[in-house]
Structure 1
């Protein structure tokens, strides 16, 4: 099993809910699969530039040897190959202003490449990836249900982009309502950890 672990929280390992939970999940996966290998991407410690039109030009075959585009193509190709090689993708992402951290959006823009991770066909776009994904997300409020559910552009977006790229086997682990006080924070983390344990047991 090849695991790609993506962390996008701006908080450190001690204070970040998603860093702690996604690490717990990865450790469970490694314990359950003795042959597991891991590629880890900390998108805060090693931030990617936001993409511009050069990324489209960089992937064109006729520009493969353009010295001005070598760095852009090389960076994107490395990230694409990591994603294509993964059997399991684990993404740890807190909700920032109802959606994904900008560091994670930058990674998505680097790996969502026509002809590499998806293609256009006469019937519409088709994802080229396979495998499984785990989304480990956190939020100060509660967005999985209730009056603020329409504001969830974190889980809904990540699930949509992964399905667009071809990964339809997705489990989402939530620690939500963590801003409602220490007791709610602890309870949310306990529930999320329980989800991880249940997923591991079922694997």
Structure 2
């Protein structure tokens, strides 16, 4: 089993989403002896934001990077994304990754009946952290909703969200959010 583990938080060791994504990967490795993990830290490995030059394949180095990122995504059986909410959305680094892997003819195609995902049958986990409390399907959630949309658009429909929210609302609230999230991870 191939696991693609992606972290996007800029907070390093203080990151809640990184703690959750690592716990998910640890749980997967405990349940699957053959798990091979490929790790991508978007706060450390800069993926330049999409430009017309990159989109049109006019930069050899960036085209190679895009192809590598797409292949990592396609090859994975499981994708684990650590995603902290920043200003109601994703980190710009995670959005840059999404722009690189969302490619017609590679991870999706358009048909006369609409788009069809090409990323195959895989499982995705979103390790979501939020400083405030927004709940599921909040009108100001452009974080989890965006990730679910991208996964679905590329053909990945088996998506679980492990959420810790209210982590900036005091130690007691953070401890409860982390305990609840870790309990959900234990049953993966």
TM-score normalised over the length of structure 1: 0.89
Query: How many Å apart are 1:180 and its aligned residue?
Result: 1.2
Answer whether contact 1:141 1:176 (CA < 8 A) is retained: yes
* Alignment pair present for 1:24 and 2:23: yes
| Alignment-derived partner of residue 107 in structure 2 | 117
Answer whether contact 1:175 1:192 (CA < 8 A) is retained: yes
User: Residue by residue, what CA displacement relative to the aligned partner does 1:30-83 show, whole Å, maximum 9, x if unpaired?
Assistant: 11101110110000011110011123321xxxxxxxxx5211210000000000
State how far apart, in whole Å, the 2-side matches of 1:74 and 1:124 are.
29
* Alignment pair present for 1:104 and 2:103: no
Query: How many Å apart are 1:125 and its aligned residue?
Result: 1.1
Answer whether contact 1:142 1:149 (CA < 8 A) is retained: no
Q: After superposition, where does 1:36-55 map in structure 2 within 5 Å?
A: 36-55=35-54
TM-score normalised over the length of structure 2: 0.96
Alpha-carbon RMSD across the aligned residues, in angstroms, is 1.1
User: Residue by residue, what CA displacement relative to the aligned partner does 1:10-38 show, whole Å, maximum 9, x if unpaired?
Assistant: 0112x110111110110110111011101
State how far apart, in whole Å, the 2-side matches of 1:18 and 1:105 are.
16
State how far apart, in whole Å, the 2-side matches of 1:160 and 1:69 are.
28
Corresponding residue pairs, total: 187
The SS at the match of 1:30 is helix
| Alignment-derived partner of residue 168 in structure 2 | 179
Query: How many Å apart are 1:144 and its aligned residue?
Result: 1.4
| Alignment-derived partner of residue 12 in structure 2 | 12
| Alignment-derived partner of residue 135 in structure 1 | 126
State how far apart, in whole Å, the 1-side matches of 2:141 and 2:60 are.
37
Find 1:83's aligned residue among 63, 73, 82: 73
Once superposed, which parts of structure 1, at least 4 consecutive aligned residues long, lie more than 3 Å away?
none
5+ residue gaps in structure 1? 59-67
Answer whether contact 1:8 1:43 (CA < 8 A) is retained: yes
* Alignment pair present for 1:150 and 2:126: no
Answer whether contact 1:178 1:184 (CA < 8 A) is retained: yes
Q: Which has the larger radius of gyration?
A: 1
